[in-house]
Structure 1
Amino acid sequence: MAAPRPLPVRLSGVIMPASIQDLEALRALTALFKEQRNRNLDTIGVAVDLILLFRELRVEQESLLTAFRCGLQFLGNIASRNEDSQSVVWLHAFPELFLSCLNHPDKKIVAYSSMILFTCLNSSRIKELEENLNIAINVLEAHQKHPESEWPFLIITDHFLKSPELVQAMYAKMSNQERVTLLDIMIAKVMAEEPLARDEVPVFLSYAQLFASTFVDQCKIVLKLTSEQHADDEEALVIIRLLDVLCEMTANSDLLGYLQVYPALLERGVDLLRLVHVSGLDSTSIFSTCGYIKAEGNVSNVAEGFKSHLIRLIGNMCYKNKDNQDKVNELDGIPLILDSCRPDDRNPFLTQWVVYAIRNLTEDNSQNQDLIAKMEEQGLADTSLLKKVGFEVEKRGDKLILKSTSDTAQP
């Protein structure tokens, strides 16, 4: 192989682009290092220095960008499936290379530097990220900007989500938009077809604690959305996504039991449903019932489905849990849930979630059944809804009985 050429130099303040021969040599070197026998660890430090120089030059000539990309590919190849190489790459590259490249405007440079980070990360190096949170947050930003790139996403799902300490530290420092992105990834993970692995359950229980705590403390922020002019309030958008995460977590049998007894979570859910329900009585509120499509366009908005999801959360928390069933009764939540069952284009499947919640509230709970039976007699409960739930009211002497029907509809 020909001797390496000198770096590009400045002539009269102009940076001379790398020659075609330079680029071909770098490509050839990259290809050689795909083979284990050709790896020479002494070259890693030089390669990192070159990459940092390319970043420092901040020029957009295609030839220099190509050399920049090839240098990163070289590091990625030399680190692939070789722990010794990974250690040396990490020693030379962390943290400067990742701080320099993960937020680069060129998406290939972002992808290649993400590949290197993914390849080198392990449990001990994750600890180092806790002291360099900007790198971890840059990965999340890279996923936001380049959702089509698999490497930032894989770093988050395969490395970050295994470290609750890192994620909690990141969450505290993130912007609200970044929190929404992280919560979307959490939802995708919990909803995945493959169940959580045994070693993942304790980790996600810690996330359940973080999200439930945040929701309990901050959920009323969502009431900022009572008018369209605050529809883009980012703090409120985080609460909406937190509710979505909690709905999916309470639908997971491994996480449900912990959240069912989480202090104040059920109470906050019922209280917030009441506030949203009252707010919706004002036709100008973003939470108002919308039973028709307006002529000027789509009725969808940031609060779409929020009431449905609140009722779903309450229903999940009452699943086979008598204490929570009784708690909702004490909070006058049953009439509130029944009164929420109205046509509403802003809350798809609202009726189905009301049906589901009422079933869970009345299962093996005679007190709640009696309450609904008396409401039906007084005209406060919709008879057709009770039939959908799978109950009908029958009078036996002086007593009203809420009994199950044989043709129970499925929610």
Structure 2
Amino acid sequence: MAATTNHDDISSSISCILNEKRRPEHLETLKMFTNSLRDKNYRDVVDAEIFSTLLKVFSRLKDDLLASTDEDPNSVALQLHVCAECFRALRNSCVQSSRNQSLLRELCFIDLSVELLRFLHANPKSWEGVFESLRCGIQFLGNLSVGNQMCKDEIWRRSFPGLLLQLLNVDDEKTVSYASMVLHTCLDEAKVEELSQLKNIQLARRVMELCGNRPELDWTVLIATQHFLKSSTLVENMYSAMPPCERLTLLELISAQLSGGESLGDGISPGVARFLASSFQKGGGAILSLANSAADEPLQEALTVMSLLDVLCEMTSHQDEFTFLQDQADLLATTVELLKQVHTIGKTSQNVFSPAQNFDGQEGDQESRGSPVTSFKAHLVRLVANLCYRHPKNQNKVRELEGIPLILDNCRIDSNNPFISQWAVLAIRNLFDNNKKNQEVLATLERRGQADYSALQDLGFGVEERDGALLLRPTGKDA
């Protein structure tokens, strides 16, 4: 059978494939059809009967593949190439054509395609053409779903969660990328809610694992940032099931989202922010184990605590969407208490929390610069400053927790905590802003450390020592 060159003869040529033993010429006929579908004018008027005939070819091909064995590799290879070409034709037919999308859905191509993809995934990857067929089949489902809600819903029903999870675990980068595209295209608020169920959480975790291990796969990052972070239920269930290394990936994505200049109100839900704050309150103390331990598990836990702290600092810094964190129960108290513990441990003995004055990188602080506690204390001070910004209740809370002397004692430069003195100055400003009781604390405060308060001059204040007590004095012209 000669390859067809006339569009009008394509239908009859495809029909012939049904009644003949599979031959290379059949592949050429399908390639002609695939190329014809690149033409929008042809694509818009292609006869529905051609698709009906192709469905029969496809169904027979599925039966042949199911009956295939390794005894005739050439026959299997031809069948797989024909399968891939059928998928290519279907893929091309869906481009900017809601008519063809709906027609293919009504003809039950989705059911047949999903069944074929399951078979291809389960069979030997040594078969020539398996990955080609997988890729083309997934691309077809992707094109079928674009802009067509009914197709999205049908694909989701047939492939979630099992097939999607299987395809995301295939050892082929393009297959995983195309499967990620299908998942991203199908997702919406209702489907994310379904994904959030504990029985389905493994699929979400696989997406996060790919974000960490294969960051070049843009689709998985888009899934996480555009869908996952909007659901506090999904984030909470994922986080609870994740080991520390996967939690770090999630927190890194959140941090990137916060600093990416996107509209946060449409990016990270308030529930996610509240959950992360609660997680920091519950698990923040894990970092203290590093004072006496260098084991891998405490290190991973400590890195998670540090990442949580970084995220909370970003959320409370000029992010109007997260001002409610200032009212998060016990977040401020946890932060001040952890700062006290870290500060005390660092003074009690020489350890990773001890301050250093080495800025040449030669000794002392060199190892700690690469540890998770580098800048940890500085970030604690920063979070206190942020939580007290124009918030009288939190200002008073720090005073009640005896946190003012603690903040003042961290005005000193510490090479293990870059910028800690600047954050301490900001915290002092926010603590004393329109709060006379906090300012009066200095009148009776006994000096508790060798603190450097010269930076306070930038805020219009001077600190004087009289009879062992510290006095805060305005330095402006009207003083």
Normalising by structure 1, we get a TM-score of 0.87
Is the contact between residue 387 and residue 394 of structure 2 (CA under 8 Å) also seen in structure 1?
A: yes
Asked if the contact 2:378–2:420 (Cα under 8 Å) also holds between the matched residues in 1, the reply is yes
Moved more, 240-249 or 297-306: 297-306
In structure 2, C-alpha distance between the alignment counterparts of 1:331 and 1:342, rounded to whole Å: 21
Q: Deviations over 1:364-408 (max 9, x none)?
A: 122322333555889865342432443114699xx986233359x
Give secondary structure in 1 for the equivalent of 2:411. Answer: coil
1:38 aligns to 2:103 (yes or no): no
For residue 170 of structure 1, report the CA deviation from its aligned partner. 2.1
Residues 1:189 and 2:267 are matched in the alignment: no
Give, in angstroms, the shift of residue 280 of structure 1: 1.7
Cα deviation 1:308-331 (Å, max 9, x = unaligned): 110001111111122222221222
Whole-Å Cα distance in 1 between the matches of residues 413 and 127 of structure 2?
Answer: 59
CA–CA separation in structure 1 for the residues paired with 2:94 and 2:404: 67
Can you list the C-alpha shifts for 1:162-213, whole angstroms capped at 9, x where unaligned?
A: 222222222222222222222222222233323433x66xx73222221222
Amino acid of the residue matched to residue 193 of structure 1?
G
The alpha carbon displacement at 1:228 in A equals 5.6
1:290 and 1:346 in contact (8 A); partners too: yes
Distance 1:17 1:229, change over 3 A: farther
Q: 1:360 to 1:48 in 2, by over 3 A?
A: same
Structure 1, residues 221-272: CA drift from partner, whole Å, max 9, x if none? 1111214613652222222211112112222443554222222211111111
In structure 2, the CA distance between the partners of 1:65 and 1:400, relative to structure 1 (3 Å rule), is closer
Contact 2:73 2:127 in 1 (8 A): no
1:228·1:285 contact (CA, 8 Å) conserved in 2?
no
- Give the letter for the 1:226 counterpart: A
Alignment partner, residue 290 of structure 2: 225
From 154, 166, 181, the counterpart of 1:115? 181
Aligned position for 1:28: 89
* Pair 309,60 (structure 1): closer, same or farther in 2 beyond 3 Å: farther
1:83 alignment partner in structure 2: 149
Instruction: Please tell me whether the aligned partners of residues 130 and 169 of structure 1 are also in contact (alpha carbons under 8 angstroms).
Output: yes
Q: Contact 2:442–2:471 (CA<8 Å) still a contact in 1?
A: no
Q: Aligned partners of 1:164 and 1:345: how far apart in 2?
A: 37
Is 1:216–2:281 an aligned residue pair? yes
Query: Is 1:365 matched up with 2:435?
Result: yes
Mapping of 1:120-199 within 5 angstroms?
A: 120-131=186-197, 132-197=200-265
- Counterpart Cα distance in 1 of 2:347 and 2:87: 68
How many pairs are equivalent? 402
Distance 2:128 2:421 in 1: 58
Partner of 1:10: 69
Q: Partner of 1:67: helix, strand, or coil? A: helix
Mean Cα deviation higher: 385-394 or 209-218:
385-394
| Secondary structure of the structure 2 residue equivalent to 1:403 | strand
In structure 2, the residue matched to 1:317 is 387
Aligned partner of residue 341 in structure 1, secondary structure: coil
The letter for the 1-side match of 2:278 is: S
Distance 1:271 1:237 in 2: 19
Q: Which has the higher contact order (CA 8 A, sep 6+)?
A: 1
Distance 1:177 1:400, change over 3 A: closer
Q: Could you tell me whether the CA contact under 8 Å between 1:256 and 1:317 is conserved in 2?
A: no
Q: In structure 2, what is the Cα distance between the partners aligned to 1:85 and 1:56?
A: 25
TM-score norm. by structure 2 comes to: 0.76
1:46 to 1:160, Cα distance in 2 relative to 1, 3 A: same
Q: Which has the larger radius of gyration?
A: 2
Question: Which aligned pairs between 1:68-79 and structure 2 lie closer than 5 A?
Answer: 68-79=134-145
Q: Which residue of 2 aligns with 1:347?
A: 417
Alpha-carbon distance, 1:16 to partner:
6.3
Deviation at 1:130, TM superposition (A): 2.5
**Other-structure match for 2:320:** 254
Task: Give the CA RMSD over aligned residues.
Answer: 3.0
Amino acid at match of 1:28: A
Name structure 2 gaps, 5 residues minimum.
1-9, 18-56
Deviates more, 1:213-222 or 1:66-75: 213-222
Instruction: Check the 8 A contact 1:228/1:286 in 2, yes or no.
Output: no
Give the aligned residue type for 1:204: S
> Is the partner of 2:389 in helix, strand or coil?
coil
The code of the aligned residue for 1:275 comes to Q
Deviation at 1:83, TM superposition (A): 1.4
Extract unaligned runs of 5+ from structure 1: none
Residues of 1 paired with 2:420 and 2:72: CA distance?
66
| Identical residues among aligned pairs (%) | 39
Aligned counterpart, 1:205: 270
Match of 2:472, SS? strand
2:211 alignment partner, SS class: helix
